[in-house]
Structure 1
Amino acid sequence: MAEPDLLVNFDLTPANNAFAASSINGIRGGRWKDRFRAKKRLQNKHGQPNRVKLRERSKDAGAHSRDDTNHDWSRAEIQSGPGHQMRAGRTSQNGPRSNHEHPVISSIFSSNPLPLAKPEHADTRSTAPITPTNAPLEDGSAFSTMGLAPTLASHLVNNMDIKTPTSIQQSAVPQLISSNSDAFIQAETGSGKTLTYLLPIVHRIFAATLSGNKLHRDSGCFAIILAPTRELGRQIHTVLMQLLSHPALHWLVPILILGGEKKKSEKARIRKGGNILVATPGRLADHLVNTTSLDVGFVKWLVLDEGDRLMELGFEETLQQILTALNDRAQAQLTNKSSAAQLGLPARRITILCSATMRPSVQKLGDMSLSDALYLKGNQQLETGQNDSSKGFQAPAQLKQAYIVSPAKLRLVSLASILRRAFIRRKEQMKVIVFFSCADSVDFHYETFGGPANQGGDQEGKDSSPSEDRDGKADKEEDDEESGKDKTIAEKNQKRPSVAARSKAPSIDDAVALFKLHGSLPQHIRTATLNEFFHEKDGAVLFCTDVASRGLDLPNVDLVVQYDPPYSKEDYIHRIGRTARAGRDGRALLFLLPGCEEGYPEQALKEQNLARRLADDVLKKGFGSTPMPKALKSKIADYAWKKDFIPKSSGERWEQEAIEFHLDVERRVLASTEFSNLAKKAFQSHIRAYATHVAAERGIFDIKQLHLGHIAKSFGLRERPGDIKVPARSKVGTGVVAPVDSNRGTNKRKLDTYNTNGEGDAQQTQDEEELRKAAQMMRKKMREHMDVVSEFNIG
């Protein structure tokens, strides 16, 4: 039998050769344990690391900062998961190990599933120019011919720069002016639905003043407009303010009531009076119960904007409470019927339901709130047949739609490639919106593309959300405090920190600004973020959840990327509706995984004309032919040392750049505990969100078909999915990760130990009672948050 010492004596390899251990592979015979021990001895003799040395080096490196190079590589060597290749380099004789000796390496181009083969079909799409279907009409139509007051029509043309109406406005506005029936308005995204229901309301209230009646802000609330999200409610209020900016309409005052702001200031605005109320359902229901100065007995219009979304967010019970309160208070104002008729206002309350899509929840809401309603839609849709019942409601005709079939491990680099390619033309004020399925995923990708240099740059987590009015003061006390201080609210709003969730995007382009928006951010940060994104003059990218998918009119949005597929077809339509608005061109791109998800365009969307792209083609354009951002040149400039470490592929430059981009994200995950926790939470939330697709589409989005290891890889995680320990949740809106309690579940044991020190059973009972009260309070707080914000923080 061969002896280990004898094998060492016959080794003629020079002692300074770092790869001397490879000669052991040519020895045959003996037991495998003897060969293994000989190999380990040779590795130790020539300076190659073993597990003990790695542990010692990792302990020594723990004293350094997280940016220390030795700490980075040693953690990587220890925590590298199965299936990830790793090779040892030389040991430096004159100092610490350099960055290029033990890099974090792995391959994102290996073991990827192949896309399904698609039969070749001739491209039947016409190359002729496409006529936009949601653009203002060019057939000579004008607002002056729709029955609007001349003052209002001229104000639209001269002051608001709206020359001609859209198809839905031309069709619906005259009927809403002349009729007192309920109405359901269905129109394409970006076709002007907000003005469609605002113009008849403002016209009919303004007409009352033309008959000699003197109306003012104390005359009562004539209309209530409900919006599902705060962002949409604020946008409706902005459009309404522009519409009422004419001097002849100065007396008509709108009021904005949203969640996330102090109820004291809202009560002050309500007491001063207003004629049109814009609100979110939860906050309006609260004021109807607790604010006695809110008089809704004279309401003649109730508008439910994005009605399907209202039902989706769990507002069904809240809407029922609002309708009941309006009906009860209207009964108390029966004596005002004659006065309403004299003013030219409807004798009954008119309910208007608006939505770009028709789904069962909308029909249920219509049955609950509408009576003998008119169904209004644009004339262009009838002519082009886009509302065919066999196909359902379609996107604007000028919108170019495509989907990319990308394996899970290539999703992150594919997104980076698309964003880099989007700004190669450096179009002025160009904007891109990227939709994710959950808030945790938004946070992770925001930090990923923002880069380490921007960590701590935005302060959205350091400013707590505005506190609610919990002091229980009576309206009289608040009147005393607010009297004589009309500008106090404005001054407080100016002093309130308004730091947007914004950073630079060195991984995309040095001149591009990166924003994030989701329901867990405090309200003043959400408002500031949307406002800065709206007015950004250079290129901008917005990472968001579905909180930004409804009704928002953001200018110059050229591309909408759905990184995570929508939960239903209706969500898909509303997402892509953020571009190609009012006749402008736009592009939309959807990410799909190889396999069953590739049937989504044909089976769920009923759309055959979506262009199909593959991940390799996208990566070649983004990493191969696009100039590299300056921030990445120093990291990917030297390829000489990488030839022995980067997994072998085709050797193309775009592959090496894509691998290095992804490895940089993995190094950051390994080097930073905070970033690692963010990646783990995003991975867990993404999987949970994936399981919430509607039942009709779960055959397409089958969670059992997901490769969890590859999904984890797309979040920069190198552990096996079963080994990923998700940290405890942080407080909503703070951005601070709660520490993981290693003794979780041992509270009772701690109490027992504490009691044995002489406190007795009475102290144990008291402590347990305090724990129960604390748990009850925590559950109550969670229910308050979940009443408005969904599980994945999209509301």
Structure 2
Amino acid sequence: MSTSTAFAGSWKSLSIPLTSWLLDVVQSMGHTQMTPVQASTIPLFMMHKDVVVEAVTGSGKTLAFVIPILERLIRRETKLRRDEIGALVITPTRELATQVHSIFALFLSSQPKESCSQPDEQPTEPFYPPPLLLVSSDHSSPAQDLERFFLTGADIIVGTPGRVEEFLLGKGRSSVNIKELEVLVLDEADRLLDLGFQAAITRIITYLPKQRRTGLFSATMTDADALSELVRVGLRNPARIVVKVQSKKVQSNSDRKVKEAFEERRTPANLQNHYIQCRPSEKLLQLVRIISHEVSQQQSSHFIIYFATCAGVDYFFKLLHLFTAPSITYYSLHGNLTPSVRTKTLTAFSSAIPTSLSPSVLLATDVAARGLDLPNVDVVIQFDPPTDPKAFSHRCGRTARAGRSGRAWVLLVGRELEYIDFLRIRKIPLKERSYLTGSNDATPSPLEDNVTREEDPSVQLYLNRIRNYILKDRANHDQATKAFVSFIRAYSKHEASYIFRLKDLDLVGVAKSFGLLRLPKMPELKEVDRTEWTEADIDWETFSYANQAQETKRLALAEAKRANRHQQKQSEPAKKSNLAWSDKMQRKVERERRKDKRVKKNIRFKSQGSASNTTDTLKREREVPTDGDEEISAEDWNDILREERMAKRVCKGDICQEAFDAEFGDL
């Protein structure tokens, strides 16, 4: 299979010429030619057309809306006032918003200064103010966002749905003027239009003026997604732009004639997409070997590893230090981190200059899957396939960007192999790679025998090493359990549930991969076969936290539980001694008396000698007067009536005499 990078002519070939200083910035960024998505989108967006754009990751979609927005603002007859906004860009994550904001800022910081009226005057500030970023932050509140807006007079707003809604419909509703809004862009539109952001996006769009241009951009905007949402987002007669990637396969037949075939893909053309089949217990083993293979064989230096949950990122961030070279630098990024930490981590990873001797590895959730431009990423590894199948191509697209080459790996276990056909239908082809073996590890059977082969012997070595690490601090045990439980919960909610079925997953194998000391108590593990599971032999009473405050709290809770159990044991004898004088004991004595009556009655019943006389006998017994001190209660009558109904069933042959005797014979 051969691949190549496609370009669509120079920037000067556009039907509407770009402003000279914009063209200078584009060329200084190294974009000497337009990509197909830029050549198709920019002229339409500049000519007052709404657009719906679908193109693979790394194809240049960001510039396809940044340049038209800037051109429309530059070509305005009148400058926007300080309280007016001209363009609004909404993204699903703060990281993507920050990236888009930085691109706008780069262009606007490079614009020429306004001319001076007098020779001795200093150049004034740029004519077009810098863009305003609206994202959650430790250093900026919604009120401060509004203050910065009026201070700078920003024409372009970039932000996430919640913060944009607060800015437009909350504190800024009466002071921010939207009547002159020129352009609305939804970046990663399919994500913004799903249920997670649907309510906020709908309120924002309803509030914005109808006379505007709207653009929807995504790598996974399917026909169904686009058509169902066009009316809701207010697009009128939009232009649909789909930029496809085709890979050419060269085949030869028996006549030695070369035959070419083309295969459509939703992933970059220069991306090599692999999968490895393994057992759940072998996933960590394979992850470590993939990293080692890429560093030693391919001289890869920039990695992103994707996990299903935030707890999983935190836990494996610590585990990988146990099994990989100390020269590797690890970073972690997920949604539970504070905004400042997320920004600091992403900046550190993207600006790092690693080598094959000192690689950089980012462990992340899907918060780092969409839109982020990290051009130096060599390898993407999906430890857990994404819960949302659309995220698969977005994850892979963090590598092989803008014509560069890259490799992506995904680990699949058991029934998950059906995911390959599912992705093929979505035009995401995967190539099979053999199970990786370490130089010092026993070689397992070939992949074709992966189902029946024995478990890799190194699994036990890894399990022991992880357990030794966990035993150093009870906090490690808590973190391992939290990561395991969160993974099981996420797996059970997979959108492709007919493939990712929890009942088909080897949960004991998963627990081995996490290195658990014992299986947690949870409903999903009630019926699990534990023959392959061995718990760690430790004294849980003395297993302590390294943190003294945590250990003091644990000991206090344990002591409270022991005191509570002791108090319950002390109160039990007194409770029993009081029962003899309570109403409960009196009722018990009454039940014993009624039981004796039934015994005597059944003796008389059996003396009749025939089941045919059972009903008449019971009727006669009901007519027998009782002694004055032996009043028959309602419960006695209910028992007698139940016996009468059972006796009728004996007469009809519905039940046998033995069943009747078993029910009432020994009372």
TM-score range with shorter-chain normalisation?
A: 0.5 to 0.7
The CA deviation string for residues 572-612 of structure 1, in whole angstroms up to 9 with x for no partner, is 11111111111111111111102x21111113432695221
Q: 2:11 aligns with which of 134, 142, 155?
A: 142
Please, which of 513, 528, 531 is the counterpart of residue 347 of structure 2?
531
Q: SS of the counterpart of 1:400?
A: strand
Q: Deviations over 1:606-650 (max 9, x none)?
A: 2695221343xx13369689xxxxxxxxxxxxxxxxxxxxxxx99
Determine the C-alpha separation between the residues in 2 that align with 1:565 and 1:622: 29
1:203 equivalent to 2:61? Answer no
User: Partners in 2 of 1:418 and 1:522 — Cα distance?
Assistant: 31
1:589 corresponds to which of 402, 409, 412: 409
The reply to whether residue 571 of structure 1 matches residue 355 of structure 2 is no
1:104-503 superposed matches below 5 A:
126=1, 129-132=2-5, 135=6, 137=7, 140-178=9-47, 180-208=48-76, 213=78, 215=79, 218=82, 220-248=84-112, 250-252=126-128, 253-261=130-138, 262-263=140-141, 264-272=143-151, 273-287=153-167, 288-291=169-172, 292-312=174-194, 314-327=196-209, 348-359=211-222, 360-377=224-241, 381=245, 394-424=266-296, 427=299, 430-451=301-322
Alpha-carbon contact 1:444-1:678 (below 8 Å) kept: yes
Residue type of the alignment partner of 2:314:
D
Q: How many angstroms apart in 2 are the aligned matches of 1:702 and 1:581? A: 33
Report deviation, 1:251. 2.3
Q: Say which SS state the counterpart of residue 482 (structure 2) adopts.
A: helix
CA–CA distance in 2 between the matches of 1:700 and 1:232?
A: 31
Instruction: Give the letter aligned to residue 184 of structure 1.
Output: V
Contact 1:148 1:203 in 2 (8 A): no
- Which residue in 2 is equivalent to 1:620? 438
TM-score, length-normalised on structure 2? 0.68
Matched residue of 1:235: which SS? helix
Secondary structure of the structure 1 residue equivalent to 2:109 = coil
Residue 656 (structure 1) shift: 6.6
Q: Which residue does the alignment assign to 1:58?
A: none
* Alpha carbons 1:232, 1:552 under 8 Å: kept: yes
Q: Partners of 1:422 and 1:622 in 2: how far apart?
A: 17
Confirm or deny that 1:556 pairs with 2:381.
no
Structure with larger RCO (C-alpha < 8 A, sep 6+):
1
Aligned-partner Cα distance in 2 for 1:383–1:680: 44
Contact 1:619 1:658 in 2 (8 A): no
CA distance in 1, matches of 2:137, 2:483: 25
Measured in 2, the distance between the counterparts of 1:561 and 1:372 equals 41
SS at match of 1:247: coil
CA contact 2:349–2:362 (8 Å) conserved in 1:
yes
Is the partner of 2:490 in helix, strand or coil? helix
Residue type at the aligned position of 1:527: T
Partners of 1:222 and 1:300 within 8 A in 2:
yes
Distance 2:413 2:59 in 1: 32
Q: 2:271 corresponds to which letter in structure 1?
A: L
Please say if residues 357 and 393 of structure 1, whose CA atoms lie closer than 8 Å, have aligned partners that are also in contact.
no
Aligned residues: 496
Q: Secondary structure at the match of 1:402?
A: strand
CA offsets 1:679-723 (integer angstroms, 9 cap, x no match): 0000000000001111xx222111111122111111111323548
CA deviation string 1:411-444 (max 9, x = no partner)? 111111111222225847x211111111011111
User: Deviation at 1:308?
Assistant: 1.4
- The alpha-carbon deviation at position 164 of structure 1 amounts to 0.8
C-alpha spacing 1:237/1:443, structure 2 compared with 1 (3 Å): same
Q: CA deviation at 1:724?
A: 11
| Residue identity in the other structure for 1:403 | Y
Distance in 2 between the 1:672 and 1:154 partners?
58
Give the structure 2 partner of residue 702 of structure 1: 501
Which secondary structure state, in structure 2, belongs to the residue aligned with residue 424 of structure 1? helix
Partner of 2:420: 601
Distance 1:176 1:436, change over 3 A: same
Q: Secondary structure at the match of 2:201?
A: helix
Q: Do 1:709 and 1:721's aligned partners in 2 also have CA atoms closer than 8 Å? A: no
Aligned alpha-carbon RMSD (Å): 3.6
Structure 1 match to 2:613: none
Q: Which runs of 5+ in 1 are unaligned?
A: 1-125, 331-347, 452-506, 626-648, 727-735, 754-795
Residue identity matched to 1:290: K
The 10-residue stretch of structure 1 (162-171 or 305-314) with the greater mean CA deviation from structure 2: 305-314
Identify the range of structure 1 (660-669 vs 231-240) with the bigger mean alpha-carbon deviation: 660-669
1:719 aligns with 2:599: no
The one-letter amino acid of 2:417's match is E
> How far off its partner does 1:232 sit?
0.3
Task: Return the alpha-carbon distance in structure 2 between the equivalents of residues 603 and 665 of structure 1.
Answer: 34
Does the residue aligned with 1:184 lie in a helix, a strand or coil? Answer: strand
Letter in 2 for 1:258: V
Q: Residue 159 and residue 609 in structure 1: after superposition, are their counterparts in 2 closer, same or farther (change >3 A)?
A: closer
User: After alignment, is 374-383 or 253-262 more displaced?
Assistant: 374-383
Contact kept? 2:491, 2:502, Cα under 8 Å: yes
Q: Tell me, what secondary structure is at the counterpart of 2:239?
A: strand
Alignment-derived partner of residue 544 in structure 1: 364
User: Counterparts of 2:339 and 2:442 in 1: how far apart (Å)?
Assistant: 41
**Any idea what SS the aligned residue of 1:412 has?**
helix
Asked whether the equivalents of residues 580 and 587 of structure 1 are also in contact (C-alpha less than 8 Å), the reply is yes
Are 1:514 and 2:330 an aligned pair?
Answer: yes
Deviations 1:432-482 (A, max 9, x none): 11111110111110111235xxxxxxxxxxxxxxxxxxxxxxxxxxxxxxx
5 Å-filtered alignment, 1:71-86, equals none
- Segments of 5+ residues of structure 2 without an aligned counterpart are 114-125, 250-261, 444-452, 526-549, 569-667
Task: Return the alpha-carbon distance in structure 2 between the equivalents of residues 699 and 216 of structure 1.
Answer: 53
Residue 659 to residue 580, structure 1, CA distance change in 2 (3 Å) = same
Question: Letter of the aligned partner of 2:395 in structure 1?
Answer: R
Partners of 1:151 and 1:517 in 2: CA distance: 39
> Could you tell me whether the CA contact under 8 Å between 1:679 and 1:717 is conserved in 2?
yes
Structure 1 CA distance for aligned equivalents of residues 351 and 551 of structure 2: 32
- After superposition, give the CA deviation of every residue in 1:155-176 in whole Å (9 maximum; x if it has no partner): 2344322211101001111111
Q: Encode CA deviations 1:68-112: one digit per residue, 9 max, x unaligned.
A: xxxxxxxxxxxxxxxxxxxxxxxxxxxxxxxxxxxxxxxxxxxxx
Taking the aligned partners of 1:168 and 1:296, their CA distance within structure 2 comes to 29
Check conservation: 1:223, 1:276, Cα contact below 8 A: yes
- Shift of the alpha carbon at 1:399? 0.9
CA distance in 1, matches of 2:551, 2:500: 31
Letter in 2 for 1:350: R
Q: CA deviation at 1:368?
A: 0.7
The corresponding residue for 2:470 is 669
SS of residue paired to 1:191:
coil
* Aligned mate of 2:488, from 687, 690, 700: 687
Paired amino acid for 1:305: D
Contact 1:406 1:614 in 2 (8 A): no
- Counterpart Cα distance in 2 of 1:709 and 1:416: 20
Percent of matched pairs sharing the same residue: 30
